[in-house]
Amino acid sequence: MITAFFKDNGTFRFTREVQSAEEMKGALWIDVLRPTPEEKDILRTALGIELTLQHPTIYHEDDTLFMTMGLVSKDEENATKVNKLTFILHEDCVVTLHEIELMPVAVFAQRIRRKAHLFDTPQKILWGLLFALSETVADRVEAVGTDLEQLSHKIAEMPTELGTGKTGTMTEISELLAELSRYEDFISQSGESVLQLARVVRYFSAEVDGFTEAELQARVNELAADVAGIKDHLAFEHDKVRYLQQASMGILNMQQNQIVKVFTILTAVFLPPTLVGTMYGMNFSYMPELSWKWGFPVTILLTFLSAILPLIYIKKKRWLR
């Protein structure tokens, strides 16, 4: 589907589902969503360019600048997904090409109608698109930071539950580690996306360098600074994920050590009675204890004491905590 945006009398109007090259004459922004072969022919006729979603790359073709990057999002199953978005800066217009509905494009489409006076050239429209894109990425990184903060509180409360007899703690930690892995994947993919965005902004900055309007160059410089800030924020969140993963692994090790400690204490308690029972289970022909009147009660008492004394010692040392 092709949507063309035109500026008339200080306001923007748009034509959705353009059917011919004639309908897009004078358009400042042309948004192309899942183009059909017929729509590609229309754009080829109108602008003389070939529409393809390339791998993230930047190149010139005649006087047209092609810039492709990936935008990271999450699907319904909370898995990381990378969607390609191509910007084409033509002599008289800007073309955006994507395969699915993207939030930054929709946000800018609303903004361009409210603030038409800010976007009267293709360069300014491209700046607006890149700015909306950086805003979206920054919001998603901030949302990840909020989620990680909640996970951090959850992890901080976990050590207090060790040794309380609550079940499912190890399962919770395993699920938490899996969730942190998904966040790490999202942040890593977002980092690549931001690097591509920084490269796009850098090339765009070179295009507007020396532009007659110094204000546009200042806006592009601010945009480059914002993208650099997003990169720093992503690096911080990535370090936070690594820290939370290490903390979770530490808690998991504590839980496993707690289990090993319980078995060790059980072994320490029952080993002496086992030794007593083993001694009196021997089949020697002469064992004086067998003829004692109180031999059996004494053996039972000895077995009980050999079990209770290590337990008292362990409790005194507070090894059961």
List, for residues 15-51, the tens digit of each pLDDT value: 667 777 677 777 777 888 887 788 777 777 777 777 6
> Facing residues of 58 across strands?
67
Q: How many CB atoms lie within 10 A of CB 122?
A: 19
* Among 17, 21, 23, residue whose Cα is nearest residue 6: 23
- CATH 3.30.460.20 domain span(s) along the chain: 2-256
Three-class HEC string of 172-203 = HHHHHHHHHHHHHHHHHHHHHHHHHHHHHHHH
Q: Supply the pTM of this predicted model.
A: 0.71
Going by DSSP bridges, is the β-strand pair 29-33/94-98 parallel, antiparallel, or unpaired?
Answer: parallel
User: For the chain, what percent of residues have pLDDT higher than 70?
Assistant: 87
Tokens 């293709």 found at:
122
Amino acid identity at 100: I
Domain 2-256 is found in CATH 3.30.460.20? yes
pLDDT digits (tens, 9 = 90+) for 242-283: 888 777 777 777 777 777 877 887 887 888 888 878 877 777
Amino acid symbol at 57 = T
Per-residue pLDDT at 55 exceeds 70: no
In DSSP terms, 108 is beta-bridged to none
Amino acid occupying residue 158? M
- pLDDT at site 78: 66
